[in-house]
Amino acid sequence: MEETNNNSSEEGFLLLGFSDQPQLERFLFVIILHLYILSLLGNTAIILASYLDPKLHTPMYFFLSNLSCVDICFATSVAPPLLVTMNMEDKTVSYGGCVAQLYVAMGLGSSECILLAVMAYDRYAAVCRPLHYTAIMHPRLCASLASAAWLSGLVTSLIQCSLTVQLPLCGHRKLDHIFCEVPVLIKLACVDTTLNEAELFVASVVFLIVPMSLILGSYGFITQAVLRIKSATGRQKAFGTCSSHLVVVIIFYGTIIFMYLQPARSSSKNQGKFVSLFYTIVTPLLNPIIYTLRNKDVKGALRVLMVGRTTGTDRRPRAP
- Which residues make beta-bridge pairs with 13? 93
pLDDT of residue 76: 95
pLDDT of residue 39: 93
pLDDT of residue 267: 52
Question: Is there a contact between 283 and 251 (Cβ–Cβ < 8 Å)?
Answer: yes
Of residues 121, 123, 127, the one with CA closest to residue 144: 121
Predicted confidence band at 71 (pLDDT cuts at 50, 70, 90)? very high
pLDDT of residue 6: 45
Contacts of 114 (CB under 8 A, 6+ apart): 148, 149, 152, 153, 207, 211
Question: Is there a contact between 19 and 91 (Cβ–Cβ < 8 Å)?
Answer: yes
Cα separation, 265 vs 228, in Å, equals 48
Cα separation, 160 vs 289, in Å, equals 32
Q: How far is CA 268 from CA 84, 151, 204, 262, 263, in A?
A: 25, 33, 20, 12, 11
What's the length of the chain?
Answer: 320
Does residue 144 carry a pLDDT above 90? yes
Average pLDDT over residues 297-304: 71
pLDDT of residue 128: 85
pLDDT of residue 320: 44
Question: Is there a contact between 67 and 116 (Cβ–Cβ < 8 Å)?
Answer: yes
pLDDT of residue 65: 92
Q: Tens digit of pLDDT for each residue in 169-227?
A: 776 678 888 889 888 888 888 888 888 888 888 888 889 889 989 998 988 888 888 88
Does residue 73 carry a pLDDT above 90? yes
Question: Is there a contact between 293 and 299 (Cβ–Cβ < 8 Å)?
Answer: yes
Distance of alpha carbon 27 from the chain centroid: 24
pLDDT of residue 8: 47
44-53, 67-76, 82-91, 188-197 — which one is most confidently predicted on average?
Answer: 67-76
Q: Helix count (H) and strand count (E) of the chain?
A: 13, 3
Cα separation, 65 vs 119, in Å, equals 11
Core vs surface per residue 14-29: b (16+ CB within 10 A) or e: bbbbbbeeeeeeeebb
Cα separation, 193 vs 167, in Å, equals 8
171: alpha, beta or left? (left if phi > 0; alpha if psi -120 to 50): left
Average pLDDT over residues 295-316: 61
Of residues 9, 16, 12, 2, the one with CA closest to residue 190: 2
- Specify the higher pLDDT residue, 61 or 235: 61
pLDDT of residue 171: 63
pLDDT of residue 43: 92
3-state secondary structure of 13: strand
19-28, 221-230, 288-297 — which one is most confidently predicted on average?
Answer: 19-28
Predicted confidence band at 316 (pLDDT cuts at 50, 70, 90)? very low
Q: Tens digit of pLDDT for each residue in 153-172?
A: 999 999 989 988 888 877 66
Q: What is this structure's pTM?
A: 0.84
Cα separation, 81 vs 180, in Å, equals 10
- Specify the higher pLDDT residue, 263 or 26: 26
Q: Tens digit of pLDDT for each residue in 104-118?
A: 999 999 999 999 999
Domain boundaries, given as residue ranges, for the chain: 2-307
* 285-288 own/partner pairs: CB under 8 Å, 24+ apart: 285/35, 285/38, 285/39, 285/42, 286/247, 286/248, 286/251, 287/42, 287/43, 287/67, 287/68, 287/71, 287/248, 288/39, 288/42, 288/43, 288/45, 288/46, 288/68, 288/71
pLDDT of residue 176: 83
- Specify the higher pLDDT residue, 46 or 266: 46
pLDDT of residue 319: 44
3-state secondary structure of 237: helix
Pick the CATH number of 2-307 from 3.30.1180.10, 1.20.1070.10, 1.20.1630.10, 1.10.10.10: 1.20.1070.10
pLDDT of residue 155: 94
